[in-house]
Structure 1
């Protein structure tokens, strides 16, 4: 793609050559790799490939900065995070264009979701910074006073995925900084530019070394970071298989972690559901962010009495989705992030069909203008698997593919929804309040929605169970993940029991 063509599309223009950021300084590397614009399949910038030595330097810089940052006041950290949010909100065009160019996020979604959500998360943790404290502990001994204080951990290794990079970055940076930690950030190779740009935009607000960025491929850079003895905690958002490798590598140093992993979200639609709302929420639940989201509504368990009507409505709306260039404001659904991801999702569809699933709509490349021939596009897809017997009903696809299942009884729906290793998000649609409480209580997931989907407001814990991970983000509880309690026990009495001597 030539520069004039890129400019005509509104593709993002980098703020300069991309480098690592270590100790507040740009650090060039000897090696690098191309960032690919997924709408057209061509390079749009070059990204630096870090080495193990760069990781060592970044951890050392963060360690030095921790000595200063941990002693800043809560009110200072509050102001810093608030100003970071201001800076994100001040340039919505910049972030929206960057995300659309970098990972194929439809630009209308970037404006409506990514920019305000990123800023909102930073503001939320800004507020919590001044409320982060320990507790007084009641004791029976009147001669003792015991209390706890919360202390920061040290250097946090933050591994950021490619699907919602600035939102996930805010989920890590916000609580880590609010609690007094420093960070070494390793973004996905498919979404490194947005992380570098964010840190460039805010690094003057913190001492050098508080925020460091090392980019490159997981088996080299990521592995060096998560096994580093100077890291106090790891926070990772991504897939379960990668999480297992990270935890194995971290085991040598006994480094604790927060794992926000994948899911296979089951949406249970009861016979009395408002189908207009249920279909609309199911569409948003699977096709928002091009289906590349861990809380996707990727299983639709619909009662047999309304199954066919639901299927007709859903398929009709899916066929009408406007697919196109992520930079086009008219686009409702963009490309997948990479050629490899597109191939993987296609393989999942083929496997499910071979096992008996039926493609109701989608499943192939959409018809698009010739200028987008190189893009990584797949039409929004609905599979039908009435008994939930194929891999599409069990395995996370992480793409714009949902599977429609049929159930006859509430117990059967709950049992099927709880099958499999994941436990991140689930939901139920019903007008019956008792049924809503009953099913919500029975669904085994960290997040359960009732008559809605994809609502993740700051303050509500986000996280899963089983293969969906552990730890909670986006809430007051998150601050506890980034600090440790220190117990202080003070003797106030002036007598001691006679235990020694004659």
Structure 2
């Protein structure tokens, strides 16, 4: 990997698939496009069904031995992966910023340490794998369960936080004794290939494999392979419907971590100084391309006007620019096409009655950045929550601000969306906090904060936001099956056949 131009990265060699611990060159390639400039900075393999089948074969073969490894061996392997990430931490931020436009300071502060900690967490959880003795069985029987790995896991990861997402898939699956074939997004495949190359010596060949390419070809071949024991997918709801439809023919189980429309309900007693910081982080971190972004703010009438004024003023000051510049606060979206979709969605909301308070424009940047997928952080006023902006996911740096006076109405509006991933409430009234938290139809609720995701806290949603949980002890069970063993302790039998 070398630097070109003004410190920009490029990879000179086409990146292969990784099958059975070895590079698997593929004649056809896809361009990796840097969203900040629109230039091709790398090439990745465009895998067909035959290459995907090879990867699944390698994983299935490796499973026969990996499933029998001791818990201590799995723990040591996961800890070694975390150490490798930590030791190479300086290598990742520029790559991640180049790949998907994530501001380099965010990538250094969040992505790399988080990925390492995920592996450390599940290294500990590897020792916690155990079955149960069933109480209440007849005295003539001894009944117990064991936890067994499923087999080959198809791990499909998105483009917005690829390193973190790969860690969320690999760590629990490996801790549980499975092998994995990873399919990254065609928009951000480089970091996944480089990561698996970097840890290849820490795992037996075939335990982790990577196939790159389009969802309709490589992805489809992976999810329809009859040897796949489970699909673990993070991405958009529409893609999930396609995957589940294809997998349904074989009844392949799945874990789905999907989109969201996070609503933060603000009480009349909120601490506006701290709240403003959390709102900005909640909606504009990672360029707003986060499934549990706080993209919808429902503010009580007593604080609505001041809060909207504060957020608008701060949004206007956010530094948008080169993601490789440490001073940049918000980089480009993943592609010009996605930027245009976000802008069109804002246009639609404005036509429906929303008011633009900040942003909703492409910034004027010089030189090679002029063709990038940049978009100013945008704030929309939608007092009654009647426009599409208050129910559709933008997956970009767009915040809608609503007004409420009746708590029941605020909760009803927050719940009146298809999604159910993350929600929140900001108040100093403890009763209100618990009351609203209980009523929000989401998998995660934050009180007086946003984006707090410590390891051990289950992450996942309900409704159109998916099913299954990541990042917690229960995640290991997502990748295991329970087997019951019933041992008879005597020879007595009822006289059924006399």
Q: 1:415 is paired with a residue of what secondary structure?
A: helix
Q: Which moved more, 1:87-96 or 1:121-130?
A: 87-96
Contact 2:93/2:104 (8 A) holds in 1:
yes
- The whole-number CA distance in structure 2 between the counterparts of 1:146 and 1:9 is 66
Alignment of 1:397 onto 2:385? no
Deviation at 1:56, TM superposition (A): 0.9
Alignment of 1:220 onto 2:217? yes
- The whole-number CA distance in structure 1 between the counterparts of 2:132 and 2:364 is 61
Alignment of 1:188 onto 2:185? yes
Alignment of 1:95 onto 2:92? yes
Corresponding residue for residue 315 of structure 1: 312
Deviation at 1:14, TM superposition (A): 3.5
Q: What per-residue deviation string (whole Å, max 9, x for no partner) do you get for residues 401-460 of structure 1?
A: 010111111111101000111000000000001110001111110000000001111100
Alignment of 1:421 onto 2:437? no
Q: 1:348 is paired with a residue of what secondary structure?
A: helix
Contact 2:168/2:470 (8 A) holds in 1:
yes
TM-score, normalization by structure 1: 0.97
Match of 1:327 among 306, 321, 324: 324
Deviation at 1:30, TM superposition (A): 1.7
Match of 2:255 among 258, 264, 269: 258
- The whole-number CA distance in structure 2 between the counterparts of 1:372 and 1:50 is 31
Deviation at 1:278, TM superposition (A): 1.1
Deviation at 1:13, TM superposition (A): 4.4
Corresponding residue for residue 343 of structure 1: 340
Deviation at 1:15, TM superposition (A): 8.3
- The whole-number CA distance in structure 1 between the counterparts of 2:89 and 2:13 is 19
The gaps in structure 2 that reach 5 residues or longer are none
How do residues 103-502 of structure 1 correspond to structure 2 at under 5 angstroms?
103-501=100-498
Deviation at 1:305, TM superposition (A): 1.1
- The whole-number CA distance in structure 1 between the counterparts of 2:12 and 2:123 is 27
Contact 1:385/1:405 (8 A) holds in 2:
yes
Contact 1:363/1:381 (8 A) holds in 2:
yes
Contact 1:32/1:49 (8 A) holds in 2:
yes
Q: 1:373 is paired with a residue of what secondary structure?
A: helix
Q: 1:131 is paired with a residue of what secondary structure?
A: coil
Contact 2:264/2:298 (8 A) holds in 1:
yes
Q: 2:255 is paired with a residue of what secondary structure?
A: strand
- The whole-number CA distance in structure 1 between the counterparts of 2:421 and 2:261 is 7
Runs of 4+ off more than 4 Å:
none
Q: 1:94 is paired with a residue of what secondary structure?
A: helix
Q: 1:82 is paired with a residue of what secondary structure?
A: helix
- Pairs aligned (count): 498
Q: 2:63 is paired with a residue of what secondary structure?
A: helix
- The whole-number CA distance in structure 1 between the counterparts of 2:14 and 2:245 is 35
- The whole-number CA distance in structure 2 between the counterparts of 1:119 and 1:43 is 29
Q: 2:58 is paired with a residue of what secondary structure?
A: helix
- The whole-number CA distance in structure 2 between the counterparts of 1:119 and 1:16 is 27
Corresponding residue for residue 44 of structure 1: 41
Q: 2:249 is paired with a residue of what secondary structure?
A: helix
Contact 1:10/1:97 (8 A) holds in 2:
no
Deviation at 1:321, TM superposition (A): 0.7
- The whole-number CA distance in structure 2 between the counterparts of 1:140 and 1:72 is 31
Contact 1:326/1:333 (8 A) holds in 2:
yes
Q: 2:40 is paired with a residue of what secondary structure?
A: strand
The gaps in structure 1 that reach 5 residues or longer are none
Q: 2:458 is paired with a residue of what secondary structure?
A: coil
Q: 1:467 is paired with a residue of what secondary structure?
A: helix
